[in-house]
Structure 1
Amino acid sequence: MATAPNETDIDDFLAGRGHETDSPGWDESYNKKQCPDCGGLHATEASTCSVCGWSPRD
């Protein structure tokens, strides 16, 4: 019987084939947060993009 691969095994597999495996996060532009999906700029205390609704996974 096979066992399910753990998350680290999957990340290693994907990283070895050129895929990003880091958790998505805010980009930075000057002194503001920038949404990686739509490029919207927000204050540093923003937790969700007010343009497209994106938020980083916790």
Structure 2
Amino acid sequence: MNMCQAMEEWYQDALEEGRSEGITLVKTVFRLSAQGKSEQEIAEEMGISPGEVKEILG
């Protein structure tokens, strides 16, 4: 039982970490866009595709 609970806690922590990283990514993309950077420049700086940048910016 303890091992199952530990695995569940580990899984929840991983999900939470992923969400916070995603939020940070989106905030950074918007900040760079507000600074006048192009979608291509943002993509290169963030290590994502220009399509992902376009999707985030809507």
Identify, as 1 or 2, the structure richer in helix.
Answer: 2
Structure scoring higher RCO (CA < 8 A, sep ≥ 6) equals: 2
TM-score (norm 2): 0.28
TM-score (norm 1): 0.28
